[in-house]
C-alpha cells in the first residue's frame, strides 16, 4: 500500500514536471514573435491585399488621422487624405499597378510604438512581364491606438537613392 502511494506521488511529480516543461517550451516557441509584431505584419498584409484589389479605402484604413508620408513624386509631404488622393491618381495612371513586398523588419519602441522596414517592388503593365517597375525602400512608423496598430508615418525612396 505504501509503495503504491509513493509510486502515485512519483508519477504525479513526473506528470507535473512534464506539464511544466511542455508549457515552458510552448511559451518559448510563442516568444518568437510578439503579438505587436504579428499585429503589424497582419495589418501590412491586409493593406497589400487591399492594394491588390484596387481598394484604396482598405489601404488607408489602418493609417492614423495624423499620418504623414514623404510625399508624391515632387517630394511634398502628404497627410492621410493627400496619400489617398495620391493612390487614386496612381490607379488612374496605371490600372495594373502592383506592389510586391519583401521581408518586413519590425522594431518595437516601448509598448506602443514600432517601425516596420521593407522593400517594395512596384510594377505595372498588362502583359506577362511588367512594362515598368521600380524598387522602393520603405520605412513606416506605427502607434498603438486602443487595440489597433495605426501607421503614423511612411517614407519611401527608390532603392539605391540617397534622397
Residue 5 has pLDDT above 60, yes or no: no
Task: Give 63's pLDDT tier (boundaries 50, 70, 90).
Answer: very high
Q: Could you tell me the sign of the dihedral formed by the alpha carbons of 148, 149, 150, 152, in that order? A: positive
pTM of the model: 0.72
Same domain membership, residue 125 and residue 48? yes
Same domain membership, residue 25 and residue 40? no
Residue 33 has pLDDT above 80, yes or no: no
More confident residue, 28 or 33: 33
- Give the structural domain span for 16: 1-32
pLDDT, tens digit (0-9, with 9 covering 90-100), for 34-45: 699 999 999 999
Same domain membership, residue 48 and residue 28? no
Q: Determine the 3-state secondary structure of 72 from DSSP.
A: coil
Same domain membership, residue 27 and residue 45? no
Whether 118 and 106 have beta carbons less than 8 Å apart is answered as: no
Task: Give 68's pLDDT tier (boundaries 50, 70, 90).
Answer: very high
Number of domains in the chain: 2
Q: Distance of CA 105 to CAs 40, 93, 112, 115, 133, Å?
A: 11, 31, 17, 8, 23
Provide the CATH number for the domain around residue 50. 3.10.450.50
The answer to whether residue 163 sits within a structural domain is: no
Same domain membership, residue 58 and residue 124? yes
Same domain membership, residue 122 and residue 56? yes
The answer to whether residue 84 sits within a structural domain is: yes
Same domain membership, residue 80 and residue 24? no
Task: Give 73's pLDDT tier (boundaries 50, 70, 90).
Answer: low
pLDDT, tens digit (0-9, with 9 covering 90-100), for 94-141: 777 788 899 999 999 999 999 999 999 888 765 544 566 788 899 999
The answer to whether residue 106 sits within a structural domain is: yes
Same domain membership, residue 2 and residue 69? no
Same domain membership, residue 48 and residue 114? yes
Amino acid at each position: 500500500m505504501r509503495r503504491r502511494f509513493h509510486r502515485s506521488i512519483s508519477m504525479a511529480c513526473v506528470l507535473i514536471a512534464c506539464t511544466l516543461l511542455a508549457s515552458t517550451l510552448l511559451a518559448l516557441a510563442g516568444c518568437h514573435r510578439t503579438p505587436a509584431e504579428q499585429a503589424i505584419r497582419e495589418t501590412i498584409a491586409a493593406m497589400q491585399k487591399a492594394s491588390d484589389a484596387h481598394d484604396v479605402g482598405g489601404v488607408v484604413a489602418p493609417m492614423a488621422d495624423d499620418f504623414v508620408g514623404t510625399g508624391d513624386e515632387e517630394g511634398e509631404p502628404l497627410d492621410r487624405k493627400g496619400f489617398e488622393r495620391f493612390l487614386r491618381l496612381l490607379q488612374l495612371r496605371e490600372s495594373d499597378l502592383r506592389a510586391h513586398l519583401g521581408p518586413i523588419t519590425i522594431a518595437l519602441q516601448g509598448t506602443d510604438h514600432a517601425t516596420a522596414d521593407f522593400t517594395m517592388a512596384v510594377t505595372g503593365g498588362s502583359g506577362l512581364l511588367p512594362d515598368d517597375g521600380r524598387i522602393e525602400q520603405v520605412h513606416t512608423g506605427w502607434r498603438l491606438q486602443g487595440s489597433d496598430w495605426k501607421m503614423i508615418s511612411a517614407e519611401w525612396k527608390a532603392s539605391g537613392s540617397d534622397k
